Amino acid sequence: MTNYFEFYNLPESFLADEKAVKAKYYELSRAYHPDFFANDTPEKQQEILQLSTVNTNAYRTLSNPDLRMQYILKEHGILEEGGKNDLPPDFLMEMMDINEELMELEFDFDAAKLHEIGENVAGLTATLDADILPTLQRFPDLHGVTKNAALEEVKTYYLKKKYLLRIKETLSKFAARS
């Protein structure tokens, strides 16, 4: 499997230079456009088609912060599909409390309570983002922190963020009903 950062000749980073990603995508889109190889051998046409596909997939992944984070974690074997992706117990307890509050809203809707839960989730998300930012900015030059420890920290952030996103989606459904 092709490493997308190497394919684009860019350093691996959670905070990739999105302008550089886009510029590389357009450069390679022109270079690997199938129309330019219409008179080549079928083998060459197939090779160009594969390179064009890798380019498209690389761009989709590296231009999206969440997909880029997921990609880096998977590339380092830190995030496993269907694997053991545990979250800290204190976070899970906090989420359980929020989910219980949401269940109560199902039976006894209260717009003020919905707003309060939304504010709480927004605050948790903002704190989460602020806490991880220094690690994302320093990666992979971590100075005193091992790369694996940093990746584990980012993995925990990524999983928490996904969990909070699901809660935000539930909040949106409530807001749409009211």
Identify the pLDDT of residue 140.
79
pTM above 0.85, yes or no: yes
Q: Which residues contact 22 (CB under 8 A, 6 or more apart)?
A: 59, 63
Whether 82 shows a pLDDT value over 80: the answer reads no
Whether 178 shows a pLDDT value over 70: the answer reads no
**What mean pLDDT comes out for the span 132-151?**
84
Q: Quick one: 177 exposed, middle or buried, by C-beta within 10 A (0-12, 13-18, 19+)?
A: exposed
Whether 145 shows a pLDDT value over 90: the answer reads no
For residue 74, name the pLDDT band (cuts at 50, 70, 90).
Answer: very high
3-state secondary structure of 53: helix
The Cα–Cα gap between 3 and 54 comes to 9
Question: Closest Cα to residue 71, out of 18, 5, 134, 170?
Answer: 5
The Cα–Cα gap between 120 and 101 comes to 12
Q: Which residues contact 45 (CB under 8 A, 6 or more apart)?
A: 34, 37, 38
For residue 144, name the pLDDT band (cuts at 50, 70, 90).
Answer: low
Amino acid at 137: Q
Identify the pLDDT of residue 65.
95
Please, what are the domains in the chain?
4-75 (1.10.287.110), 89-177 (1.20.1280)
Whether 83 shows a pLDDT value over 70: the answer reads no
Identify the pLDDT of residue 106.
87
Whether 33 shows a pLDDT value over 80: the answer reads yes
For residue 84, name the pLDDT band (cuts at 50, 70, 90).
Answer: low
Q: Are 74 and 16 in contact (CB under 8 A)?
A: no
Q: Are 159 and 85 in contact (CB under 8 A)?
A: yes
Whether 57 shows a pLDDT value over 90: the answer reads yes
